[in-house]
Amino acid sequence: MCSSDLGGRRTRDTNAMASLLRTGAVRARDALMQRARVFGAGSARGMSGETVPVFVNGEEHNVPKGVTVLQACEQAGVDVPRFCYHQRLSIAGNCRMCLVEVEKSPKPVASCAMPVMPNMNIKTTTPLVKKAREGVMEFLLINHPLDCPICDQGGECELQDQSLIYGSDRSRFTEYKRAVEDKELGPLVKTVMTRCIHCTRCVRFATEVAGVQDLGVTGRGGMAEIGTYVSKLLTSELSGNVIDLCPVGALTSKPFAFTARAWELRTAESIDVTDGLGSNIRVDTRGTEVMRIVPRLHEGVNEEWISDKARFSYDGLKRQRLDTPMVRDDHGKLKPATWAAALEAVASKLKETDPAAVKAVAGKLSDAESIVALKDLMNGIGAGNTAAEGMEGVSADARSAYLFNSNIVGVEDADVVLLIGTDPRVEAPVLNARLRRANVAGGAHVASIGPHGDLTYPVEKLGESASAVEALASGKHAFAAKLKEAKNPLVIVGASLLRRPDRDALLKQIHAMCDETGVVNPAEGWNGFNVLHDAGGTVAALDLGFVPSTSAASTPTKDVSLVFSLGAESFDAPESAFVVYQGHHGDAGAARANVILPGAAYTEKYGTYVNTEGRAQRAMPAVTPHGQAREDWKILRALSECVGAPLPYDTLKGVRSRLADIAPHFAKTDEVEPALWLNGATYAHVPKSSAKVDDKVPMASSVENFYMTDAITRASATMAKCTKAKAAM
């Protein structure tokens, strides 16, 4: 319950209770200061090195020129309370909680909106400041309901924390509190608008970051309300981030509502695998169940945002799970089996099958540990036909040919951007927010080849067919001159282009264009050729050389008699092929399987994932695998024993040592190692006679439905609701 509504009862507290409150206040203040200091990382980009002297509570500090008084105080280690201010949003100055005293100023000033001046004397602990903060808090709590015990924000509420530290111990308000009708924003965000304090963080996020005009403020004063003007759903793929931004319980998670309290949850740091960005996430669990997923701060990848798919698809982790080994009997029915029987069935089939007729496919959600174990197993039995799901035929010889070479943060440095066969809004919404920032704030000119919807920023359409790429490569298109004139030009190629039959011809032309127009300029240290992958396991598979060997590359599909699917849902194989499916969900791949080996999902195992820019990141297990499921590399290690070609490692440390031996960047977690550009030599083998593109194949995005892209999201009831709501708009 908010402290200012406790009234005079607090005066009757015992000394022990007072001590407890003081301890809670200290902890809350420390948490607030930790959150507040995030601004330093987010605001440092583009800030000049010039500093000015200021005095904060009598101590002199040098702060960057142009920062606000609030930022200067934070740099000095002094906490200033706030509600409306957020380091990644524009300044609103609504709440007035950040009032401080500035020498020679006739009244307290809003520190979030006041820029520092040389030798400014700032005071944050004076009686005037204390009185001002208590008055603001009293006004904020006038209409706030006394429903803290049933509010999902309880334990994580900034209003609770700040009222305890800075509020008064009584309230003078004796009238009826106002009530506001709740808004229907869709299946993801729950509203209790009576709790709203009109900080407008959600409005500014939707407008500035997400780029949608969904939320706004109507009315003034006590009649002000935040809503959608007309009844509509939130249309952004980033809408769930307003839950984290809301400092009170006005906007909360609808799927998480009334399921758990914050202090009941255990946390584990993990990596999102639902797209290729590698967003840093925190998985909150209770017992053996994942209760929610929230973002972790990472300036180089996702900042502090995640997509709705990453945040809300966790309910798919407990539906349609494979939790016991299964073997298809003589009648064509999958029957439960013991691990020994299932492994022996796979081993005997591998032994009797010609290695040339064996094919292994690594799924889109696979971790690097399981991929390298499968590769070593295939090498041990002499099978060289390996491929990453959706990347069959893609060369892994030159790392720069399949990476996001400019790095994710490099997007903000671009002045001209060309999108080819990609829709970043649905393939990587967080990256699209950076592109929007580059366009709106940085003035970057964005053009596109291929059909797409609203990207939330202006885009020049250059065509919808592959012929536009030919025109650019030959220099006939006017946009080629813009690329050549740009200081930091950027080309982003979608994953769908790597799955086209004329892939090599297109990429040869794009590489030549990049060299010709200066998109790749090694002398200036700029490589603007980027591939945007749409899944978390693709880059690791390519880095590990999970591609067909020279001899296996020419093996026709009809000659494949055994397929080992490591979570892959789609693969080329004859209907008569014996299929071994090792994965965690009963999706399309499991439906074709003769033997099912239940594996662990990404929240249930130690795993290394490489994002689209080549950054290796590690995930920690949040819960134990379902039923009899096991970590994938352990299953493959056991299978290798049954086959008679045991893998040379039996610990996680041993597997990761093997990873580092193959590709040293696996040992450098959370680092991006620049890839060597071969100046067009990557596709020099493609003859001119076959370097023709197919105009009949559309330049489409690899993602048809943002909410359902893999086995986990397709099993999610929440994602199904989102799909239905989107279709009804």
Beta bridge mates, 56: 59, 122
Among residues 527, 228, 247, 557, which one has the least CA distance to residue 385? 557
Q: Which helix (H) or strand (E) holds 623?
A: none
Among residues 236, 247, 241, which one has the least CA distance to residue 199? 247
Q: In the prediction, which pLDDT does 129 show?
A: 95
**Token pair of 716 as six digits:** 């999610």
Contact 249, 223 (CB under 8 A): no
d(CA 371, CA 375): 6
Residues near 715 by beta carbon (within 8 Å), at least 6 away in sequence: 316, 317, 319, 320, 585, 587
Q: In the prediction, which pLDDT does 573 show?
A: 86
3-state SS, residue 253: strand
3-state SS, residue 35: helix
Among residues 513, 529, 454, which one has the least CA distance to residue 479? 513
3-state SS, residue 335: strand
Q: In the prediction, which pLDDT does 172 show?
A: 87
Interior/surface letters 387-425, b for 16+ CB within 10 angstroms, e for the rest:
bbbbbbebbbebbbbbbbbbbbebbbbbbbbbbbbbbbb
Place of tokens 């998109």: 519
**Token pair of 309 as six digits:** 């798919």
d(CA 110, CA 113): 6
d(CA 725, CA 185): 10
Contact 583, 631 (CB under 8 A): no
Low-confidence ranges of the chain (pLDDT < 70): 1-48, 680-681, 684-685, 687-691
d(CA 498, CA 702): 10
Q: In the prediction, which pLDDT does 24 show?
A: 41
Q: In the prediction, which pLDDT does 695 show?
A: 78
Radius of gyration of the chain (CA): 28
Place of tokens 């991006």: 672
Q: Output the pTM of the full model.
A: 0.90
Q: In the prediction, which pLDDT does 171 show?
A: 82
Q: How far apart are the first and last CA of the chain?
A: 39
Place of tokens 């820029």: 115
**Token pair of 425 as six digits:** 């809004």
Q: In the prediction, which pLDDT does 698 show?
A: 82
Q: In the prediction, which pLDDT does 82 show?
A: 94
d(CA 579, CA 690): 34
Among residues 589, 497, 528, 258, which one has the least CA distance to residue 403? 528
3-state SS, residue 728: helix
Q: In the prediction, which pLDDT does 12 show?
A: 37
Q: In the prediction, which pLDDT does 691 show?
A: 58
**Token pair of 663 as six digits:** 């590709």
Q: In the prediction, which pLDDT does 212 show?
A: 93
Contact 603, 621 (CB under 8 A): yes
Q: In the prediction, which pLDDT does 474 show?
A: 83
3-state SS, residue 499: helix
CA angle, residues 75, 76, 79, in degrees to nearest 5: 85
Residue 272 CB neighbours (<10 A):
30
Q: In the prediction, which pLDDT does 48 show?
A: 55
**Token pair of 438 as six digits:** 């580059």
Please, is 135 exposed, middle or buried when counting C-beta atoms within 10 Å of its C-beta (0-12, 13-18, 19+)?
middle
Strands 416-420 and 489-494, how do they pair? Answer: parallel
* DSSP 8-state symbol, 404: B
Please, is 352 exposed, middle or buried when counting C-beta atoms within 10 Å of its C-beta (0-12, 13-18, 19+)?
exposed
